[in-house]
Amino acid sequence: MDEPLSIASSSNRHQLEAADWATAAEALGYAAYELDYVGDRMIWSANAHEILGVHPYEVPRTGRTFARFLSPGAASARLPATPPATLPQAPEDRRFRVAYELLPRGGRAYGVYLEEEGYWFGTDDGRVTGCRCMLRSVVATVTPAADATRAASSDALINRDELLNILDGVVRNLARDGTGSAAFMIIAVAGLARINANLGYETGNTVIDVTARRIQRRMRQGDIIGHLSGHKFGAILLNCSEQSVGIAAERFRQAIVDEPIDAGHAVIRADIAIGAVVLPRHADSAGLAAIRAEEALAEARSDPDVHLKIYEPSPARDAERRRNLEIADEIHRGLADDRFVLAYQPVVDAKSRKTLSFEALLRLARPDGQIVSGGPFVAAAEQLGLIRRLDIRALTLVLADLTANPRLRLSVNVSTDTILDSSWLSTLIEAARANQNVMRRLTIEITETAAIASIGDLVHISGTLRDIGCRIAIDDFGSGHTSFKILRDLKPDWLKIDGSYVRNITTDADDAVFVRALATLADHFGIRTIAEFVQDEEAAQMLESMGIAALQGRLTGEPALRISDQTRSILKGATHLRSARESDGYAAYSAILDGPLEVDIL
């Protein structure tokens, strides 16, 4: 069922037959590869290292290895290349085209931008077994004029290492002299992920370049700007007080927002966010200055109405940082020893009270036998960049239990960072190939706030999840700025109403009105509702009368520790297995679930 691949060149289009795909690719200045999904093997054309910008021995030989070459934003950009559950009937539906960036390598400030076009092939019964693709470097095909523009812009900036070396010298000189002050800024282009997703990476790259040039023109003589990472710049402002930082930041921002950026095929209204630290008062080294400017930038970006944040000492933040380091160490050790396990909390039908499914909740089995809630670990992991590993661990355990128990339904939470990661999606797709029935019994839960922040990306991903059979639930609905757009565009199967509105529903008239409104809204879109944190029978009956379809909470069952084939050795080996009680009064688990498991209503 292999089809010719149509590849665009500068003058015409060429039909590539499977037999000579690599030869034709090289003749056109492309690299080509064939990826076998079943064995996870990649076969490349001889010129692959030239296009990828790596040594010949570094050319990836598996899809999993290739995924490690991708920049953080590439996962969502490559979603159209994710293989479908079954091979489309129409040849044109088997083709895909994507553009994305690789991670910077060899000391370069930017990674290689690639355009890729390919097609899926498979067996006569519709199973997708692989793809053939051709790709080229976008930078290698830009015009000389565009190359000149790039060389004169952000590529001409000093790189991160040079900038931090200069910054270190500035800090040392200020400390030695004992007089004067300077400032270090980290400036980030706002909304770049949305620009890349909607208009392509070349447009995003143009916005980065123009932003750098405009800021550079507004800097005083002697001040220094350099490139830190994809969409971030560092600026050293000499002889600069804290008051002057605000003046300079406003000058830089006005340079960006006062005039739209002409990207050729689109006009972009860009903006920036800035984090700054005053030197040497709040940092005695370049490394510490960079850390504290990043912390200030994170605060600025957390509020859309704030564009500048200047670092201020905070004992609470320093204590949180130390606590996060301790948690990070415990996460690493827990993952290395496979000590992250699951507890299941039932979700029941509001009328019959029969079990519809279980929500899988992360727990850590400490070496001393104590079982603790995964909540604090998840929150810290999101800040420390470890959440993907926790989410993949939870998903792996859930998929194994669903496979072993054909009458079991489970839901599992996933963060936005993880759902946009290709390795997480690949795990699901591989499971779908092995057992399609498992996918029909799996629900992916995404929080409302995460859905709002990444609605564009999630629309594409939700389509893929449905294609392989998964259901989708929006968790904690009502906790953020409730959006009709989520319901209309994502079309979730379930809406889980945040427990803060359910806890006091029998005594708080405002909560009752709000929950009833959410239930009516969900019903309008054909979405079933789950009320979280249901504490007593009075609340349960009230929720049922409002049209709530399902209940979850202390009344219907607290989390129970799941002992499965994958976690049995860890849990059985723990001495004095016991549940830690959390700050909210809930235990990490109230019972143990061992052996075969099923729901009442499949």
We report the CATH number of the domain holding residue 513 as 3.20.20.450
Is the pLDDT confidence value at 130 over 60? Answer: yes
In a 13 Å sphere around the CA of 477, the CA atoms on its Cβ side amount to 27
Residues 401 and 449 in one domain: yes
Under DSSP, is residue 245 helix (H, G, I), strand (E, B) or coil? helix
Residues 390 and 506 in one domain: yes
Residues 119 and 163 in one domain: no
What's the confidence (pLDDT) of residue 20? 59
Mean pLDDT in the chain? 82
pLDDT tens readout for residues 529-570: 999 999 999 999 999 999 999 999 999 999 999 998 888 888
| For residues 501-522, average pLDDT | 91
Contact 485, 521 (CB under 8 A): no
The DSSP secondary-structure symbol of 220 reads P
Is the pLDDT confidence value at 108 over 60? Answer: no
CA 28, CA 17: separation in Å to the nearest integer? Answer: 14
Indicate the burial class of 45 (C-beta count within 10 angstroms; 0-12, 13-18, 19 or more).
Answer: buried
What's the confidence (pLDDT) of residue 201? 65
Contact 217, 232 (CB under 8 A): no
Q: Show which of 141, 164, 191 is a domain's final residue.
A: 141
Top pLDDT among 593 and 194 is at 593
CA 68, CA 422: separation in Å to the nearest integer? Answer: 10
Q: Domain range for residue 128?
A: 5-141
Q: State what percent of residues in the chain have pLDDT above 70.
A: 84
What's the confidence (pLDDT) of residue 578? 72
Is the pLDDT confidence value at 42 over 80? Answer: yes
Is the pLDDT confidence value at 401 over 80? Answer: yes
549-553-557 Cα angle (round to 5) = 105
What's the confidence (pLDDT) of residue 597? 95
Q: Identify whether 297 is part of a domain.
A: yes
What confidence tier does 376 reach under pLDDT thresholds 50, 70, 90?
A: confident
Q: What CATH number has the domain bearing residue 278?
A: 3.30.70.270
Helix (H) or strand (E) holding 418: helix 416-419
What's the confidence (pLDDT) of residue 1? 42
What confidence tier does 144 reach under pLDDT thresholds 50, 70, 90?
A: very low
Residues 361 and 458 in one domain: yes
Q: How many whole angstroms from its chain centre is CA 341?
A: 22
Residues 332 and 445 in one domain: yes
pTM over 0.75, yes/no: no
Q: Identify whether 601 is part of a domain.
A: no
Token pair in block for residue 306: 């704030």
Q: Show which of 279, 313, 347 is a domain's final residue.
A: 313
**Span of 199-213, 360-374, 445-459, 570-584 with lowest mean pLDDT:** 570-584
Top pLDDT among 259 and 21 is at 259
Contacts of 291 (CB under 8 A, 6+ apart): none
Q: Identify whether 32 is part of a domain.
A: yes
Q: Identify whether 196 is part of a domain.
A: yes
Indicate the burial class of 383 (C-beta count within 10 angstroms; 0-12, 13-18, 19 or more).
Answer: middle
| For residues 175-185, average pLDDT | 88
What's the confidence (pLDDT) of residue 542? 97
What confidence tier does 186 reach under pLDDT thresholds 50, 70, 90?
A: very high
What's the confidence (pLDDT) of residue 471? 95
Residues 151 and 130 in one domain: no
| For residues 276-292, average pLDDT | 89
Q: Identify whether 576 is part of a domain.
A: yes
Residues 411 and 555 in one domain: yes
pLDDT tens readout for residues 17-32: 444 566 767 766 788 9
Q: Show which of 273, 289, 313 is a domain's final residue.
A: 313
Residues 62 and 153 in one domain: no
| For residues 336-360, average pLDDT | 95
What confidence tier does 58 reach under pLDDT thresholds 50, 70, 90?
A: confident
Residues 296 and 349 in one domain: no
Under DSSP, is residue 246 helix (H, G, I), strand (E, B) or coil? helix
Q: Identify whether 599 is part of a domain.
A: no
Closest listed residue to residue 100, CA positions, set 88, 118, 122, 83: 118
SS percent in the chain: helix, strand, coil, step 5: 45, 25, 35
Top pLDDT among 61 and 195 is at 61
Residues 326 and 184 in one domain: no
The count of domains in the chain is 3
| For residues 478-491, average pLDDT | 69
Q: What CATH number has the domain bearing residue 37?
A: 3.30.450.20
Q: Identify whether 291 is part of a domain.
A: yes
Is the pLDDT confidence value at 418 over 90? Answer: no
